[in-house]
Amino acid sequence: MRGSLHVPGHFGEFLQGRLGPDGPVALITLPCPSLGVVAQASGGRGLMLHGGPPPAQARALLARLDLPLPGRLALRPLAPPGMGTGVSTAALVALARLAGWQGPPEGLARACVAAEGASDPLMFASPARRLWASREGRTVAHLPALPRFHAIGGFWGPPRRTEPRDAGFPDIADLARLWARGGDLPTLAALASESARRTLALRGPVGDPSAGIARALGAAGYAIAHTGAARAFLFVPGTLPAGAGAVLRAAGLTGIRRFTGGER
């Protein structure tokens, strides 16, 4: 099998937490099309991976989907693993697609969860329009389209990979209900900021500069990777100030990038 593709990633989550004290861990992803994984299959027999998931995990995914081994496969993450950009899920999605998967994204999501224990909704065309139970690989609720936004972000702190059995997140059921009603960018950015604040208060890391950066830049709000290093600052289009990158770098963020999103 031969071919190449790009599976877009994300830049942390707008929301992440428990849906009630005993509910599932759920999230709303923050898409970032310039991240994710670039993959190329160059033929051959068996499975020869350069980059990407461990071979045993890759074989388990392919077997569950009843797909053949794709031969030589090179996967290049567009950000380091553990930063909160969806690299692990994007790599599995790329592997499945290059091996010939043409089935529904729901089936691919279940296979990804079986292989790695948790999954981002990167196999869907509009991942941010789902309240996603990441440890179960299912959509809890369908959500309104996002308003247009501009963002600037970077990485703060060390890599931190998702531990699938980790359910120690704050309750965000109230935030999820409010998000499902829709709203303008300032309304939704405020909900994202509150989700980040709750997670940082419960889980750390101590000294996170995101709230201060958002105030200094006049951002509508901010979002974090709730188990990674990504930090994003959200703006109504046309309001992202010149010099924002310098403010992030001065606060210790690296890998600065600007991106846009939203559908309305």
Give the span between the Cα atoms of 187 and 185, in whole angstroms: 5
Of the three residues 99, 115, 141, the one that is the final residue of a domain is: 141
Instruction: Tell whether 179 and 117 lie within a shared domain.
Output: no
Residue 149 has pLDDT above 70, yes or no: yes
Phi and psi dihedrals of 33, rounded to 5?
-60, -25
Residue 56: predicted pLDDT: 92
Whether 67 and 160 map to the same domain: the answer is: no
Same domain, 123 and 70: yes
| Predicted confidence (pLDDT) per residue in 201-218, tens digit | 999 999 999 999 999 999
Per-residue pLDDT of 226-239, as tens digits, reads 999 999 999 999 99
Q: 152 with 117, same domain?
A: no
Note whether 69 and 179 are same-domain residues: no
Average confidence (pLDDT) over 121-143: 97
Looking at per-residue pLDDT, the higher value among 25 and 263 belongs to 25
- Which of 141, 174, 191 is at the close of a domain? 141
DSSP-H helix ranges across 159-255: 173-180, 185-203, 210-217, 244-250
Looking at the structure, do residues 121 and 238 belong to the same domain, yes or no?
no
pLDDT tens per residue, range 45-95: 889 999 889 999 999 999 999 999 999 999 999 999 999 999 999 999 999
CB half-sphere exposure, 47, CA atoms < 13 A: 21
Asked whether the beta carbons of 214 and 208 are under 8 A apart, the reply is: no
Residues 160 and 241 in one domain: yes
Q: Looking at the structure, tell me whether residues 135 and 117 fall in a common domain.
A: yes
Confidence band (pLDDT; 50, 70, 90) for 1? low
> Are the beta carbons of 135 and 166 closer than 8 angstroms?
no
Which ranges of 37-172 would DSSP assign to H, the alpha helix? 55-64, 87-98, 105-116
- Please indicate, yes or no, whether residues 17 and 81 belong to a single structural domain of this protein: yes
pLDDT digits (tens, 9 = 90+) for 243-253: 999 999 999 99
Same domain, 108 and 135: yes
Residue 250 Cα to chain centre, angstroms: 25
Tokens found for residue 59: 């074989």
CB 60 within 8 Å of CB 47: no
| Residue 39 belongs to domain with CATH number | 3.30.230.10
The sign of the CA dihedral 49, 55, 57, 44 is: positive
Same domain, yes or no: 185 and 234: yes
Q: Which residue range(s) make up the domain with 239?
A: 143-261
CA distance 143 to 55: 35
If pLDDT is split at 50, 70 and 90, which confidence band does 264 have?
Answer: confident
Structure confidence at residue 152 (pLDDT): 98
Output phi, psi for 53, to 5 deg: -70, 160
H/E segment holding residue 153: strand 149-155
CATH code of the domain in which 183 resides: 3.30.70.890
Domain count, the chain: 2
Tokens of 84: 């909160």
Number of CB atoms found within 10 A of residue 101's CB = 20
pLDDT of residue 43: 85
Tokens of 173: 């059921």
pTM of the predicted protein model:
0.96
CA 242 to chain centre: 26
Helices H / strands E in the chain, number of each: 7, 10
Do 218 and 115 have their domain in common? Answer: no
Pick the last residue of a domain from 106, 141, 176. Answer: 141
